[in-house]
Amino acid sequence: MKHTTHNHRMILHVDADAFFASCTQATHVTYQGKPLVTGRDRGMVIAVSYEAKARGVRRGMLISEAKKICPELIAVESDYETYSLFSRRLFAILRRYTSEVEEYSVDEAFLDITGLRKPLKMSYEKIAKDIQKTIKQELNITVSVGLAPTKVLAKVASNKNKPYGFVKISNFSIEKYLKSLPVHEIWGVGNNTASYMNKLGIFTALDFVRISPESVIYNFTKPHQEIWRELQGELVYPVITEEKTSYASISKTRTFSPASSNKTTVYAELIRNLEGACSKARFHGLVAKRITIFLKTQQFTTVALEACLTRASAYPKDITAIAHQLFDSLYKNTVQYRATGIVLSDLQENTSIQQSLFESPVELQRLQHVYDAVDNLTRKFGSKTIHLAASMKPKATPLSPVKTVREMKEEKELAFSEWLKNGGILGNKHLNIPQLFGTMG
Ligand SMILES: [Mg+2]
């Protein structure tokens, strides 16, 4: 599909600013505004926050090197699960504006917003800025946006004023933006092509667009002829709206030592992981439709089972009944276990609580309030503040400072489990035929 200049398009390029570092700062309030890098696990700087960039820290440096330049640098391990969750939410926000979204990379997208002024009742500029604002509000990260008649120009524009920048390139302002752009910075022009261009006396993108059509055809291959046309404002590359099938999931696992065959202990570990995974899902406003539990034995074999939930949820109490059934079918009292884990998958945005016909909305709402309180306390005091009674080790657990809330929560959970028993939602009949994965490693 090709568009000519007569069929004028409006393309947005949305590009998150210092994405991995920003995700980390968005999930850790205390890191905000501070110099931070990711990549500690590899000893090398992978992503750099703007605060660290300002201090001279660069991608690819050794962490030790970077710390010499910036002693208060925070170095964290990469957390690709979190990045992919942010990525999915970012694309979900973009799809509220149009289905014409191309997921170009984990933190970049192209949108064809041609013709959306009327239905959205906004100018193209306003749409771009509204997208920026919504992402900032909901994800607490910033994106830079470029608006232009082609993808190559939109990419030039988004890169022009980072971070949180907005640049529009129209057919009349193309020259202004291309004159200071070195050819090696043009999207799709590699280093070899750039030095070849330099030999021809072409140093900037403007030099390139100014050569004649004959010269372009004579000197360059088809891909570079297309870039030349895109830089002129002629759309050659359409926005490819195919949704990437990325199956985001949230997993939590923990190894414990010594290994144990005590059923209560192993189950408590599993439920603790369930709570951790659910807490992460709720932080991202997501609910899961599928749960996998796994147990790792002392012999390093792993057994796993998965099941579908009747209703997508991120509340442990919704899921423990099913987790317990899965656990019962996996657990063997002759085996020593060294780790348990949980995977929440088929994640979706928790836009509204999806209720099945058998559920009591009042009860569900109460449960939601309880977990809102739990999440607030967790944010203030850390993740170990509150947990389900089932995840407490058989040993005595010291009382936490938020006893009343915990009591309240247990009360609710008791009421909830009663209600579950009386024709509840997660009975045996809803359990998918468990699938045995066997040994996973
Ligand atoms: Mg980016």
Q: At what angle do helices 124-139 and 80-97 cross, to 10 degrees?
A: 150
pLDDT at 201: 97
Domain membership flag for residue 305: yes
Tens of pLDDT, residues 245-277: 555 789 999 999 899 999 999 999 999 999 999
How far is the centre of ligand 1, averaged over its atoms, from the C-alpha of 366 (Å)? 40
From ligand 1's centre to the CA of 384, what distance in Å? 34
Q: What is the CATH number of the domain that holds 260?
A: 3.30.1490.100
pLDDT at 130: 98
At residue 356, does pLDDT exceed 60?
no
DSSP 58-76: -TTSBHHHHHHH-TT-EEE
Mean of per-residue pLDDT scores for the chain: 83
pLDDT in tens, 115-134: 999 999 999 999 999 999 99
Domain membership of residue 399 (yes or no) is: yes
The alpha carbon of 15 and the centre of ligand 1 are apart by a number of angstroms equal to: 5
The mean per-residue pLDDT over the stretch 379-405 comes to 45
Q: Is the pLDDT of residue 352 over 70?
A: no
Distance 18 CA to ligand 1 centre (A): 6
Q: Is the dihedral of CA 49, 51, 54, 60 positive or negative?
A: negative
Distance 111 CA to ligand 1 centre (A): 15
At residue 241 the predicted structure's pLDDT band, cuts being 50, 70 and 90, is confident
pLDDT at 99 over 70: yes
| Catalytic residue chosen out of the listed positions 102, 103, 108, 269 | 108
Q: Greatest CA separation found in the chain?
A: 82
377 located within any domain: yes
Pick the residue with more confidence: 342 or 383? 342
**Rounded CA gap, 319 and 290, in Å?**
10
What ranges make up the beta strands (E) of 235-355?
250-260, 286-297, 302-313, 337-349
Instruction: Report the separation in Å between the CA atom of 424 and the middle of ligand 1, taken as the mean of its atom positions.
Output: 46
- Separation of 101 CA from ligand 1 center, angstroms? 16
Q: How far apart are CA 304 and CA 440, in angstroms?
A: 8
* 409 within some domain: yes
> What's residue 7's pLDDT?
63
Query: Would you state the pLDDT for residue 117?
Result: 95
Among 178-192, 307-321, 377-391, 425-439, the least confident range: 425-439
Q: Which residues pair with 349 in a beta bridge?
A: 286
Q: Ligand 1 centroid to 166 CA: how many Å?
A: 14
What is the total count of domains within the chain?
A: 1
Note the pLDDT of residue 93.
Answer: 96
Q: Which residue has the higher pLDDT, 114 or 387?
A: 114
Give me ligand 1 centre to Cα 163, in Å. 10
Q: Is residue 203 part of a domain?
A: no
Query: What are the C-alpha distances in Å from 120 to residues 59, 116, 179, 378, 424?
Result: 39, 6, 34, 38, 42
Is 118 domain-assigned?
no
Cβ–Cβ < 8 Å for 157, 167: yes
* pLDDT score recorded for residue 349: 78
Residue 108 clears pLDDT 90, i.e. is over it = yes
Over residues 22-28, the mean pLDDT reads 96
Which residues, including other chains, have CB under 8 Å from residue 136's CB and lie 6 or more apart? 142, 164
pLDDT grade for 178, boundaries at 50, 70 and 90? very high
Residue 168 belongs to a domain:
no
Mean pLDDT of 350-359: 47
175 is catalytic: no
Residue 144 lies in a domain: no
DSSP reduced 3-state for 362:
helix
CA of 185 to the centre of ligand 1 (A): 15
Q: Domain range spanning residue 257?
A: 250-430
The mean pLDDT of 301-322, rounded to a whole number, is 89
